[in-house]
Amino acid sequence: GENVEQHPSTLSVQEGDSAVIKCTYSDSASNYFPWYKQELGKRPQLIIDIRSNVGEKKDQRIAVTLNKTAKHFSLHITETQPEDSAVYFCAASYQAGTALIFGKGTTLSVSS
Amino acid sequence: SAVISQKPSRDICQRGTSLTIQCQVDSQVTMMFWYRQQPGQSLTLIATANQGSEATYESGFVIDKFPISRPNLTFSTLTVSNMSPEDSSIYLCSVGRGEGEQYFGPGTRLTVT
């Protein structure tokens, strides 16, 4: 079955810096890769996703890149703000709307 | 996105007892899933709740321990049976629509004493 590795487990940045979180997946059949943000005590919130027919997707300060050959994808957050502090999870599935396999998460801390 | 509710939001239960968690969606959805999130950990898929048929369980999860029902396209239940302290966790349902994104319910925080 699918296995998703996520790095780093913790990331501390200064406000205004960029943050990058990387994930690798094992199953080449996976073709949907969402990212979730989970604040303390809250449910995971979908922040951005990418499908296998796209190499990069941006939404304001957030971008995701996908390298299908290398089987890895990354989340990029620019101009970080204290409210970006949260746990970020990457995930993979065979198609959008189907069961997700999650990475172990990255705790991002943005200090002002 | 769909509006998803779960009941109860939290509970404290005695070991050996069972708890049924409900997940209600405000519109029909194709897919419903149940995940577990142990304290400080990631999300682990328990099973896919199939409408009108038996749930599909992931490795390490069995129907006798986590029976699931899905009587229609807007509702599902997960029962945690014969609970032990190791079952203390947050249980989340999620929904997906065909080619669309997947969204999570608010979760049920279970503590087993």
Read out DSSP for A53-68? T-SEEEETTEEEEEET
A78-99 average pLDDT score: 93
Q: What pLDDT band is residue A95 in, cutting at 50, 70 and 90?
A: confident
What does the alpha-carbon distance between residue A59 and residue A95 come to, in Å, rounded to a whole number? 21
Within 8 A of B98 by CB-CB distance, chain A residues are 96-97
B5–A contact, CB cutoff 8 A: no
Strand, helix or coil for residue A83: helix
Nearest CA-CA partner of A34 in A15, A16, A54, A19 = A54
B68–A contact, CB cutoff 8 A: no
Model pLDDT, residue A1? 85
Strand, helix or coil for residue B99: coil
What does the alpha-carbon distance between residue B51 and residue A3 come to, in Å, rounded to a whole number? 27
Model pLDDT, residue B99? 67
What does the alpha-carbon distance between residue B67 and residue B19 come to, in Å, rounded to a whole number? 11
* Cβ within 8 Å of residue A17, ≥6 positions away: A80, A110
Q: From the CB of residue B111, how many other CB atoms can be counted at a distance below 10 Å?
A: 13
pLDDT per residue rounded down to tens, chain B (113 residues):
789 999 999 999 999 999 999 999 999 998 899 999 999 999 999 999 988 889 999 999 999 999 999 999 999 999 999 999 999 999 999 998 766 789 999 999 999 99
Mutate to test the interface with A, among B93, B102, B103, B108 (most CBs of A within 10 A): B102
Place of tokens 């502090």: A85
Nearest CA-CA partner of A103 in B81, B32, B41, B31 = B41
Place of tokens 């994930």: A23
Q: What pLDDT band is residue A100 in, cutting at 50, 70 and 90?
A: very high
Per-residue model confidence as pLDDT tens digits over A12-39: 999 999 999 999 999 999 999 999 999 9
What does the alpha-carbon distance between residue A102 and residue A45 come to, in Å, rounded to a whole number? 13
Model pLDDT, residue B98? 65
